[in-house]
A and B are shown apart, each in its own frame.
Chain A
């Protein structure tokens, strides 16, 4: 059974800092990995998707990496802004069963 762990559970940083969110998983037989953002009272917004054959994806100030052999992914946020404050969720897609398996998320607060 796939298990996804996100560390830290919560993170508070001053504006402008670069930061790294971590995601680890137990089963490397994945189809892809996604990072989502969830704002309070809102649904999920997909940020980046990394397919199993890829090592990283970049979008603006966000960079996500994937290391299947070690069962790890990181989300790097450069020059953080207060608008980045949200919960960030890591989710794995196993392919054969079509469901996403989520971590519990990291609650990020960026202070002005």
Chain B
């Protein structure tokens, strides 16, 4: 596609429910990143994929958070048993190491509200 797309654009859920957020990176981009933007906290790194592997999961806040990537393309971020503090904008980015300088291109984000 022309850019990084994310779905849904908005999600409202009840505390304790599971949610899945989807990211479609730019075609051909091998690297994919998830970030979270919370009110007053700024943007924080969650996880990085190179192909289907996640060499850096250091930013995942708890074991309720998991992510996977299939076919070197689409990625899903799953939050189990959501809590109110999970409310934030979840941003996905992709990049290609074959294009210098390597720049991360961001999607529009998914706005998650946990009631």
Residue positions of A touching B, CB distance < 8 A:
32, 34, 36, 41-46, 49, 51, 89, 91, 93, 97-105
Contact = CB atoms under 8 A, between A and B. Distances in A.
A49 B42 contact: no
Nearest to A34: B103
B72 interface: no
Nearest to B43: A102
B103 A99 contact: no
26 contacts: A34-B103, A36-B106, A42-B109, A43-B4, A43-B91, A43-B106, A43-B108, A44-B91, A45-B106, A46-B104, A46-B105, A49-B101, A51-B101, A91-B43, A93-B102, A98-B33, A98-B50, A98-B56, A99-B33, A99-B59, A100-B35, A100-B104, A102-B43, A102-B44, A104-B41, A105-B42
A103 B42 CA distance: 7
Interface residues of B, number: 26
Contacts of A91: 43
B92 to A, nearest CB: 9
Nearest to A6: B42
- Interface of chain B, helix or strand or loop or mixed? strand
Contacts of A43: 4, 91, 106-109
A93 B48 CA distance: 13
A61 B109 CA distance: 28
A99 B50 CA distance: 12
Given A32-B101, A43-B91, A44-B91, A99 B108 contact: no
B31 interface: yes
List the 10 closest A-B pairs by CB distance, nearest first.
A102-B43, A104-B42, A99-B45, A44-B106, A43-B108, A43-B106, A98-B48, A43-B109, A43-B107, A102-B42
Contacts of A42: 108-109
Contacts of A32: 101
Nearest to A32: B101
